[in-house]
A and B are shown apart, each in its own frame.
Chain A
Amino acid sequence: MSKLFYDHLVKFEQIEIELKKYELEGSDKEEMERLIDEQVHYRVMTCVLTHLPRHHHTEFLEKFAEKPYDEKLLLFLKEKVEDIEEKIIEEIKDIEALLLEDLGGKHGN
């Protein structure tokens, strides 16, 4: 299964609805989906590494590179950082809010 350890925290249903209004097809649709996916990767990783104590970074990055899908990664983070799951969720909510702002500008521009 192609998944990442934080995938279950990401459900941009409203973004999906708003994006459909753009009538995208083929490569345009793929490009937009890819850009959003990449944004999530960078921001979640930044959030994790910012809160995770520096001396745990190497161990985390090694585990992540070996098994990006492993749900134990979140358990590892929870042991090292208080409320890390909540912090990741907040980051994801912020991503969603900004993307909806971008998508909502369709008819105004």
Chain B
Amino acid sequence: MKKKTAPQKNFNQLRRKVGARTLTAKNVFENKHPHARNFFHQKGFDLSQIRRQSTKLLTAGTLAGALLLMPPKALPVQELPLPTEIMQEMVSPDARFPQNPQKFLADNLAKIFPQMAHPVSPEQERKFAIFVTKMTGVPVRATLEGEHLNTFFGMIGAEQHLPRFPGDTIAGHDEFRESGITPGRGAWGYFATSNNTLTQDDIQREKYYVAVQTLYLPDWPKRFTYLRDWYKYRKVMVLNPINGKAVVAVVGDSGPAAWTGKHFGGSPEVMYELGLDRGMRKGAVFLLFVDDPENKIKLGPVDYSQVNPEKVSVSEDI
């Protein structure tokens, strides 16, 4: 019989303890409130799955609205309180753009982000994506190839470096060593098989990685194989609405858990480029997919000095 290693033994003990407490909590709920248990059963879901159910309801409301052209009042959404004239400007062929897009972005996003407690309509998501695309020069979308995260706005928290290959240590990472390195691999494993096969692309992916909550996608269990591959190193842009700083990164890990109060995780480099590497090392951000089928957009901070919003073209099918 294979001897258990210490961490595996400890995890099995932990799983038994936490599992037992969860089972007890479930039994207490069902015994004290059997009518509630029956209610959920009649609705066709289990209370343990409420988070996925919530995402399903929200996604059905927003995407169904896009497909069926349901009136906004029928959707569980709110309108983004961006000034109407700004949104109209962004999509107008006669649009006039600010000289300082980073500041313009920050000034306008600062007005709306405190109210981002609910999802927005597909049309508002589209206009928001156009707005951000024009200001940053990076083609972004909230929905890409039919895929949509459970949220494109939320709190990001600092993560550690990820081991890029078996045996990788913090000494091999050139910056932000004080952040440390995770003892385990990221959700998509190592970036390379060894130090010898590590490429510049691998190095860049680990530098600029984010964690997203794939666990809470409504059909994650059903389409696991497809979604796991789709999200692996998926290019995204993270935008800090307070200062307008933006960074192009890849999905390199899953999480954080909902009970942490956070929605995304950022590598040390990502947090630094967003200006969130000090103090609490967390903050509210927007996270959108980057539409880059030819892999032309480099990872790293967005250089606004190279952006001319007037010349930024936006895909018609955004």
Instruction: State the A residues within 8 Å of B (CB).
Output: 1-4, 7-8, 10-13, 15-16, 20, 22-26, 28-43, 45-46, 49-50, 57-58, 61, 65-71, 98-99, 102-103, 105-106, 109
- Report how far A2 CA is from B29 CA in the complex, Å: 23
From A1, A36, A46, A70, B154 is in contact (CB under 8 Å) with: A1
| 9 pairs from A and B in contact (CB 8 Å cutoff) | A2-B51, A12-B257, A20-B183, A23-B184, A24-B184, A35-B18, A36-B259, A41-B50, A43-B25
B187 to chain A, nearest CB (A): 6
Q: B48 to A42, Cβ gap below 8 A? A: yes
With A34-B215, A68-B50 as known contacts, state yes or no: A109 contacts B151, CB within 8 Å: no
Judge whether B213 and A10 touch: CB under 8 Å: no
Tell me if B15 counts as interface (CB < 8 A to partner A): yes
Q: Which residues of B contact A57 (CB under 8 A)?
A: 33, 35-36
Query: Which residue of B11, B55, B216 contacts A24 across the interface (Cβ within 8 Å)?
Result: B11
Question: Does B14 contact A46, Cβ atoms closer than 8 Å?
Answer: no
| Residues in B whose Cβ lies below 8 Å from that of A25 | 184-185, 187
Known contacts A22-B10, A46-B33, A57-B35, A2 near B54 by CB under 8 Å? yes
A61 touching B260 by the CB < 8 A rule? Answer: no
Given known pairs A2-B151, A37-B51, the reply for A49 and B33 (CB within 8 Å) is: yes
- Tell whether B177 is near chain A: CB-to-CB under 8 Å: no
B215 touches A33 (CB 8 A): yes
Asked if B256 is an interface residue, CB under 8 A from chain A, the answer is yes
B118 surroundings in chain A (CB, below 8 A): 1, 69
B contact set with A: CB distance below 8 Å: 7, 10-11, 13-15, 17-19, 21-22, 25-26, 28-29, 32-33, 35-36, 39-40, 43, 47-48, 50-55, 57-58, 76, 117-119, 150-151, 153-154, 182-185, 187, 213, 215-216, 254-261
Nearest neighbor of B216 in chain A, beta-carbon distance: A2
Q: Given contacts A12-B260, A39-B18, are A45 and B29 in contact (CB under 8 A)?
A: yes
Whether A42 and B26, one on each chain, are in contact in the complex, defined by CB atoms closer than 8 angstroms, is yes
Cross-interface CB contact of A1 among B26, B33, B153, cutoff 8 Å: B153
A16 shortest CB reach to chain B, Å: 5
B171 to chain A, nearest CB (A): 19
Contact B151 A22 (CB under 8 A): no
CA A37 – CA B10 in complex, angstroms?
Answer: 20
Q: Once bound together, how far apart are the Cα atoms of A58 and B35, in whole Å?
A: 9
The answer to whether A4 touches B119, judged by C-beta atoms less than 8 angstroms apart, is no
Give the docked Cα–Cα distance between A42 and B36 (Å). Answer: 11
In the complex, A8→B112 CA distance in Å? 19
